[in-house]
A and B are shown apart, each in its own frame.
Chain A
Amino acid sequence: MTKTIMLSVFVFFITLAQAQQVEFTEYDLDNGLHVILHQDNTAPVVTVGVMYHVGAKDEAPGRTGFAHFFEHLLFEGTENIERGEWFNIVSANGGSNNANTTQDRTYYYETFPSNALELGLWMESERMLHPVINDIGVETQNEVVKEEKRSRIDNAPYGKVIYSTGINPYMFDKHPYKNSVIGTMADLDAAELDEFKDFFDKYYNPNNATLVVAGDINISETKKMVKDYFGPIASGPKVERVDITEDPIEEKIIATDYDSNIQLPLTALVYRTPSMKDRDAYILDMISSVLTDGKSSRMYKRMVDDEKIALQVLAFARSQEDYGTYLIGALPLGDVELSKLRDVMDEEIVKLQTDLISEREYQKLQNKFENRFVNSNASIQGIASSLATYQMLYGNTDLINEEIDIYRSITREEIREVANKYLQENKRLELDYLPEPNE
């Protein structure tokens, strides 16, 4: 009898998990381009995306911001797409497009009504094969990137925290993660045309890229088109990956920074975390959820609701290929001292290090992560970028369906253990982020 119940529970679990399988096919072209196809014909929409395994961490010294600058440059046109036409073509065919750069990779994508699939493949293959990289483009995009920096970071309240530009220099010493993705104005100005061309030759090759096509497609027709458009592109040299080991932080770093766009200070504790591929990174993700995710999370409930010492609590977990950072912070309410906020945050961390979270909290985490998992596959565009990310950065495309199993397998004991391992006072940055004093 017991056995039957066990069995039916098991069956129930299986169906639940299968109800939302993202099916996909993946293979390599001869030139090394990795291809992932996902068919879903429920809406007449298709996304074509290409992820290149190059990001800010691959930049040459003195060239911060280069990878992101380069991403802008690759919208300037190709041998068959005139300058300034890229966006018009996308728009005229009812599509939308964008690109983004992180420390680890650069991702370009278009989403179209499904009758424009071939167009999307053509455009991305044009970009990979022969983009036009010239002085006009460099000059224009130099200004645009600087404006992006001003509006996103320099003019944004708490910009240096949100974009880590005021954090990473403390957290990394040798690893290029110490630099920001957006870079500095001086470095942006210093880049020469030839450097952009070399960068393209070095990193923008099919063997350093993943093509993903998702949505209302026919697999065999799509395979043929992919071969037609991407097959003839020659592969390039093998890319050397950044391989730098940081020494552990042994002594607490104390820092103060200022922001002219804010009136309320912020205090933050920042920890260096392992690669996002590491099981511990998943566990830290759950720890973050216990502390700050939702109104019943421990820090929110205590600091904002019960003791009314904080206006807001926040957490940023930056997961990256080599190392991550995890920031928890709070904005004081009224005249509360920043040191008081730090003390309370510390108490909450110590609790996690000492006691197991309750069974109910544990079940809450499971529900939360299941909800997150279901919602992460809600749009074709989202599925496309997840597939490419799992394949390229995690080395396991199946994670799109199986990542939830990792979270499900994490135990309460592991949570306590990892809190002890990473959230140590002597291994962190304590940052007071204050309003710029008035002149």
Chain B
Amino acid sequence: MKKIIALLLVCLVGTSLSAQIDRSQMPKPGPAPTVNIGEPDTFTLKNGLKVLVVENDKLPRVSASLIIDNKPYTEKKPGTQAMVSSLLGTGTEKTSKDEFNEEIDFLGASISFGAESAYASSLSKFFPRIMELMAEGALMPKFVQEEFESEKDKLIEGLKSSQKDVGTIANRLSSSLAYGPNHPYGQYVSVETVEDITLDDVENAYRNYFVPEDAYLVIVGDITTKEAKKIVKKTFGKWKKATPPSTTIPEVSPAQYTQIDFVDMPNAVQSEIIVQNTVDLQMADEDYFPVIVMNQILGGSFGSYLNMNLREDKGYTYGARSSVGDSRYASRFRASASVRNAVTDSAVVEFMKEIDRIRNEKVDADKLEDTKKKFAGSFVMRLEQPSTVANYALNIETEGLDKDFYETYLEKINAVTQDDVQRVAQKYLKDDQMQIVIAGKGSEVIENLEKVEFKGKEIPVLYFNKETENVEKPEYKKELPEGVSVETVYNDYISAIGGEEAVSNVNSMMMKGNASVQGMTLSFTSKSAKGGKSLTLVEMNGMTLSKQVFDGEKGYAAAQGQKMDMTEQQIRDTKVTSGLFPELSVSEGAELVGIESVNGEDAYVVKLTDNVREFYSVNSGLKLATETTAEQMGQKMTSTVSYLDYSEKNGVMVPMMLNQNFGPQTIEIKIEEVKLNEGVTDADFE
């Protein structure tokens, strides 16, 4: 007997030795575990509420989830649903809010309410009581003015606090652009719409939509169906039968062409990119399985095209993903990532590249196989949660699916071919109608974004504000580097035009030039001298059209025979720019306010007064422009003089071209003659 045991041992040792693992080979998975999708018990109350029960006694707890599957509707005052949701649970006909909350907390349980939903969970020993409280909160709410005001304030504060959240703003704009501002999925809640909401609005929304016609109650956990039935009848049996108002949902129209939709977020350290187009896809559609497989390959997991490119290859982002929604009403394809500012344009290019790839290249057969296995695995793993069984049954009911939809789920995944993937990519990823929504820091990203090309053409950029309204391209201020001040900008300018010594040798300067306006030639003379003195004269055929004189302290403007003394404001505005090289000293109140682009060149902006700003090139130091704002007949008008074609005269650089911009008009003045220290007398400034 002992011998036999010894022999057996030897054999065992032998096998374990020969079974030494070869770790260079990846272990193959064993046979697939058997999957057993149970079915929940179901019953319907007289008022129409359908109840699903999944018994599972692994843990001593039970949850109940109420879902009212109404058709979505456009809110007259967006935010009303949010208010219904936050007011439910703030007191009932029977119980004050404090007692209600205290009892839930006391039981260590939780109950929450949505505008058309409710959820409760607790230890099984407290479940009967928790269901009573849930039903009381859901069916017998008492909406009072005081709570209403308080919840409204909180909602408004919350909205204000999300105004700087890059993700929130990007999502808001993307929904609005995808579905349209009047679609239930496209409208957004703003401070203004919430301010309009009254207590009556909330009561009406609750009365109209919190009804049992399309309601489901799902109970999962340590409870028998018999017990559940008893409890549900007692608690939700009294819910009055009613149908929600009928509603039409606006049509969703696709974008006309592929575009970048940009909203400026000056605080952003990353750009939020959302590439999207709307799709018409339901779970019951034949394309459903090919589409979810296609999306899985494109951006559904870590190893997908998008993430492997944008994260693993380029390191642009912490993660890039995509999704294709399915819905009975409207849904969209959406690919997104948060990327650092500097690579925003490159990230857009890579997004479009991967979308193009899945549309035009057949997916690798192995990759497709692996993707299918991923679906099989997730399917199995989801069954760990007892609520999955209930969710599946609920989907079959609400989405109009075949009874065996989930039993045959993996078969249908397996049936998807390489051709299917490409076909649905071409059908659902509409690369000629895509919206590339970006929320980011304009001053750092927009210049390059405007150059992004797709299929050899620049993608047009449209601009939006945070309220999702289309706007003109805004000016983006850049951040000033450290150590830069008005002094350093002025010093750079002076040395760029020849240095302090050369500049201080100039006592006066005269410039003469010509401009052509509507076929007529204007001649232009400018004289300036130390002490802030200046004269500007515009003539045509020897006739004076306009003349502006400033003697350092006061001045006047004359046009068509009329002479007007400068106002105090005009004197202040003229004093800071008048004369020879005012940059030799910094005038009082001068302020460096930022960096802006002047004719494509970055320039430091020096604000001299409320109405005068001057621009100095970041690169060359030269003065690029002077911008003056004047009020005329109650309207603010801005005119800009740009200085171009600098060339050297007696050791000083002088612009040989002046462009005067006034509204839509531009006058180009070509300088013909420049004289230093001659041709100027004090009489010129009288």
Q: Which residues of A are interface residues toward B (Cβ below 8 A)?
A: 16, 19-20, 42-45, 80-81, 84, 87-89, 91-96, 111-116, 118-119, 121-122, 125-126, 129, 139-144, 146-148, 150-152, 154-155, 157, 216, 224, 228-229, 260-264, 293-297, 301, 305, 308, 311, 331, 333-334, 360, 363-364, 366-372, 374-375, 377-380, 435-436, 439
Contact = CB atoms under 8 A, between A and B. Distances in A.
Given A94-B377, A363-B106, 19 more contacts: A87-B303, A89-B26, A112-B377, A113-B381, A118-B27, A144-B318, A147-B270, A154-B269, A157-B164, A262-B164, A263-B161, A296-B106, A311-B157, A334-B153, A364-B108, A367-B106, A369-B108, A377-B59, A439-B594
A229 B384 contact: no
A115 B381 CA distance: 12
Contacts of B3: none
Given A125-B23, A157-B164, A115 B308 contact: no
A166 B369 CA distance: 47
22 contacts: A45-B380, A84-B308, A89-B26, A91-B370, A92-B370, A92-B373, A93-B374, A115-B31, A122-B27, A140-B312, A140-B313, A144-B315, A147-B318, A150-B270, A150-B340, A228-B21, A294-B101, A369-B108, A371-B61, A371-B122, A377-B59, A380-B384
B316 A147 contact: yes
Contact of A91 (B126, B302, B316): B302
Contacts of A42: 58
Interface in B357-380: 369-371, 373-380
Contacts of A115: 29-33
A301 B98 contact: yes
Given A44-B33, A93-B29, A147 B315 contact: yes
A371 B123 contact: yes
Contact of A151 (B31, B158, B160, B318): B318
B164 A260 contact: yes
Given A118-B27, A157-B165, A263-B163, A94 B380 contact: yes
Contacts of B378: 94, 96
- Kindly state the interface size class of chain B when it binds its partner: 35 or more
Interface string B40-63: 000000000000000000111100
B374 A296 contact: no
A142 B316 CA distance: 11
Nearest to B109: A371
A294 B160 CA distance: 24
A368 to B, nearest CB: 4
B102 interface: yes
A305 B105 contact: no
B473 interface: no
Q: Is the interface of B mostly helix, strand, loop or mixed?
A: mixed
B341 to A, nearest CB: 9
Contacts of A364: 105-106, 108
Nearest to B103: A296
Contact of A308 (B32, B98, B150): B150
Contacts of A378: 59
B642 interface: no
B140 to A, nearest CB: 18
A94 B376 contact: yes
Contacts of A93: 29, 373-374, 377
Contacts of A263: 160-161, 163-164
Contacts of A368: 105, 108
Contact of B34 (A44, A372, A374, A375): A44
A260 B301 CA distance: 32
A88 B364 CA distance: 13
B56 to A, nearest CB: 9
Nearest to A224: B16
Contacts of B98: 296, 301, 305
B97 interface: yes
Nearest to A228: B21
Report which residue of B30, B98, B161 has the largest number of chain A beta carbons within 10 angstroms of its beta carbon. B161
B675 interface: no
B8 interface: no
Nearest to A80: B24
